[in-house]
Amino acid sequence: MIRLGLVGIGKIARDQHVPALANSGDFDLAATASRHGRVEGVESHSTVAAMLAARPDIRAVSLCTPPAGRFEQALDVIRAGRDLMLEKPPAATVSEVEALAQEARRQGTVLFTTWHSREAAEIDAARDWLAGRRIDAVRIRWMENIRQWHPGQDWILAAGGFGVFDPGINALSIATRILPSPLTVLDAVLEVPSNRASPIAAQIRFRTGDATGDARLDFLQTGQQTWDIEVDTDAGMLRLGMGGSVLELPGEIPISGENQEYPRLYSRFAELVRSRQSDVDLRPLQFVADAFMIADRRIVQPFEF
């Protein structure tokens, strides 16, 4: 068992990381670091530095704090010689991740930038079906209710919080995994509440190979939530629904599987730790950065939780 420290005991840690670790055959949750959160029965510390100093036996760390401000924590972990797994998005900027990857190589530690939606049940099957097929068009619809999924989390609409791209980057992580050609941003429109710094909705046109794509992200979806990707090909339309857990192919009965995203992430992290290899993929984050760079920003009505 690999002794692991979990940093940032918030909603995502409680909902996903703690249960996955409780059932892991690879990791022993040895300690946590968080300003406010605790995990019952697990040693707790108020800072990453305190946890690392108190527990030299901890070999790996999983970092679940918001991306803004995460860089220094990640550096502390790497410079302490511990292997590091980063919750998505891995950092506030592309250059921060590149600096962390360089420092990990210098220190001889493992760095894993995770994209949990890539581990959804039918992602691999979708990628395999699209391989070698002509892509004609792509449509991404990622629409959810911020009040349901991020209640009171003002940081997500602050500068560096990504706004609607916090969930939207999940769709982009899937698209960059399953589509055979790279994605490049053509243009974008970001809707930013007048009292916030980050967008609450976005529309992006992009290119992949010779095809164009359209992504619509919305943080104000009520009723049924939408996490869908459709790909038109020379063999018909592929549709991934429910965040990648349902796959519809032309002329076939839809298939679905149970999502085991976080258990799969921790299994992958264990493989990387034991093989001493890093896994750093910046493509989803680069797409978001490109969209922010060229977007038409439109101010919309204020938003309050």
Question: How far apart, in whole angstroms, are the C-alpha atoms of residue 246 and residue 235?
Answer: 19
Question: How far apart, in whole angstroms, are the C-alpha atoms of residue 32 and residue 226?
Answer: 34
Q: How many Cα atoms sit within 13 Å of 154 on the Cβ side?
A: 4
88 included as an active-site residue: yes
Write the CB contacts of 41 (distance below 8 Å, at least 6 apart in sequence).
none
Catalytic option among 17, 45, 88, 177 = 88
Q: Any idea which residues carry the catalytic annotation? A: 88
